[in-house]
Amino acid sequence: MLNAAPTDLTGKTCLVTGAFGGIGASAVEHFAALGADVYATDIADNFDGPAEYRRFDLMDDTALTECGTWIADIKPDVLFNNAAIFDMGTVLDADLASFDRLFTVNVRSFYAVMQACAQSMVAEAKPGSIINLASQAGHRGEALVAHYCATKAAVISYTQSAALALADHKIRVNAISPGVIDTPMWEHVDAQFAKFEGKEIGQKKREVGEAVPLGHMGSPSDVARVAVFLASDQSAYMTAQTICVDGGNVLR
């Protein structure tokens, strides 16, 4: 009789960053539904979900240090490293202030949280799973999204390097590259495209959904279900990989 690997997360401690947004909130719900003890953080003052919540502004070095101390206390088995921000601009007009904001959150803070979780897992001498949120934008440049694309390419590269460095400790590191996912952030993204491309509000969102090979935008739960797979023993022999959850937008 087949002894299938479980997706049950009972007994695992899962940390979700960027938990207030669509993908993060869905990950919290999925992890909790499968029995995990879930901890969550974001910049919002409060959080309505099945998790113990702490607010940290990851752009602030003091808060980032406090977050690292918190991580050492909760001793996560799983990290869903999801916090990120978005901005637009070409290489002609994307200024260094935008560069600093995006790289501070999407790369610097992302790396600090990943490092703190990895250090905790090694100190506890237990296997773990780190799941980093990349993007389809990390696989190719886009004319209007120069800085954001570069930050997500960095996430993919750090995922590979961390996976190789942590393999001896039985810590798996993988990434998820969402495509166009229908989250609250897309209202901001759509407004930015309306400004840069002269489109009506809602037009870009409709166009990108129709352009997906599967014919529609994804949902946060589409990403969260892959996060469950990577958090569970179902993916026990996977590390250093980036899984595209994009309806076929990126062919790899």
Query: Model confidence over 181-224: pLDDT tens digits?
Result: 999 888 888 888 888 888 899 999 999 999 999 999 999 999 99
Q: String of b and e for 209-228 (b: at least 16 CB within 10 Å)?
A: beebeeeebbebbbbbebbb
Give the integer Cα–Cα distance in Å for 156 and 224: 18
pLDDT of residue 160: 98
Q: What is the DSSP letter of 171?
A: E
pLDDT of residue 1: 58
Average pLDDT, the chain: 95
pLDDT of residue 21: 85
**pTM for the structure as a whole:** 0.95
Give the integer Cα–Cα distance in Å for 96 and 247: 33
Give the integer Cα–Cα distance in Å for 186 and 168: 39
What CATH fold (topology level) applies to the domain 13-179+219-244?
A: Rossmann fold (3.40.50)
Given a cut of 70, whether residue 2 has pLDDT beyond it is no
How confident is the model over 214-240, as a mean pLDDT? Answer: 97
Q: Could you tell me what percent of the chain has a pLDDT over 70?
A: 98
pLDDT of residue 111: 98
Query: Is there a catalytic annotation at residue 148?
Result: yes
Q: Which residue has the higher pLDDT, 199 or 124?
A: 124
pLDDT of residue 19: 97
CA angle, residues 180, 186, 187, in degrees to nearest 5 = 155
Give 104's pLDDT tier (boundaries 50, 70, 90): very high
Given a cut of 80, whether residue 252 has pLDDT beyond it is no
Pick the closest to residue 88 from 151, 153, 145 (CA basis): 145
Catalytic position from the list 111, 148, 158, 237 = 148
Give 174's pLDDT tier (boundaries 50, 70, 90): very high
Give 108's pLDDT tier (boundaries 50, 70, 90): very high
Domain ranges for the chain, please list them. 13-179+219-244, 183-217
Give the integer Cα–Cα distance in Å for 132 and 24: 12
Determine which of 33-47, 136-150, 185-199 has the lowest per-residue pLDDT on average. 185-199
